[in-house]
């Protein structure tokens, strides 16, 4: 699958999620008798839809992509989803978290820790796969003997 086609699917899903969430929020606001949608709610819808779409593309394997491209897509989409979730939390928060001098260190710390955890899991996963392949090779040799 070409990159342009992959990005077009991602953008199409993002627009679909934004539209669905906007309609749901409009219905809830209509039923609760509040006036109109506020700009902050619309921004929250956009950011939440972006996070959902990125999580979806990170966790669902795309058959048209190669193994290396899927791994890169996983890391990029998961990182973007984390950024969108943190921005969404920043949009709905009030108080000291809303101040930019506290937000930036929180964002950097969260992303660094997440990156370290993914790196450790990736290295551990490769070691585990190697160990399982060795055991499988041993079982296959026993079966032939």
**Tens digits of residue pLDDT in 55-85:** 887 887 676 777 787 788 888 888 888 888 8
Same domain assignment for residues 21 and 66 = yes
* Cα four-point dihedral sign 97, 102, 107, 113: negative
Q: Which pLDDT score is estimated for 66?
A: 76
Chain Cα centroid distance, residue 134: 33
Q: Range of 49's domain?
A: 1-92
DSSP E strands: which ranges in the chain?
none
Q: Which pLDDT score is estimated for 38?
A: 67
Q: Give the Cα-Cα-Cα angle 101, 103, 109 (nearest 5 degrees).
A: 110
Same domain assignment for residues 81 and 37 = yes
Spatial separation of the C-alpha atoms in residues 121 and 143, rounded to whole Å: 32
Same domain assignment for residues 45 and 22 = yes
Q: Which pLDDT score is estimated for 105?
A: 77
Return the DSSP state at 33: T
Q: Which of 78, 64, 140 is nearest to 110 (CA)?
A: 78
């Amino acid at each position: 699958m070409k990159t342009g086609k992959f990005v077009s699917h991602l953008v199409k899903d993002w627009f679909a999620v934004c539209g669905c969430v906007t309609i749901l929020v409009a219905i809830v606001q209509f039923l609760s008798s509040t006036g109109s949608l506020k700009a902050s709610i619309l921004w929250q819808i956009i950011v939440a839809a972006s996070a959902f779409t990125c999580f979806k593309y990170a966790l669902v394997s795309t058959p048209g992509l190669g193994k290396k491209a899927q791994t890169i897509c996983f890391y990029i989409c998961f990182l973007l989803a984390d950024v969108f979730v943190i921005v969404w939390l920043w949009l709905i928060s009030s108080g000291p978290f809303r101040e930019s001098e506290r937000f930036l260190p929180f964002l950097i710390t969260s992303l660094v820790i997440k990156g370290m955890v993914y790196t450790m899991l990736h290295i551990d996963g490769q070691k585990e796969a190697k160990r399982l392949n060795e055991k499988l090779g041993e079982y296959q040799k026993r079966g032939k003997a």
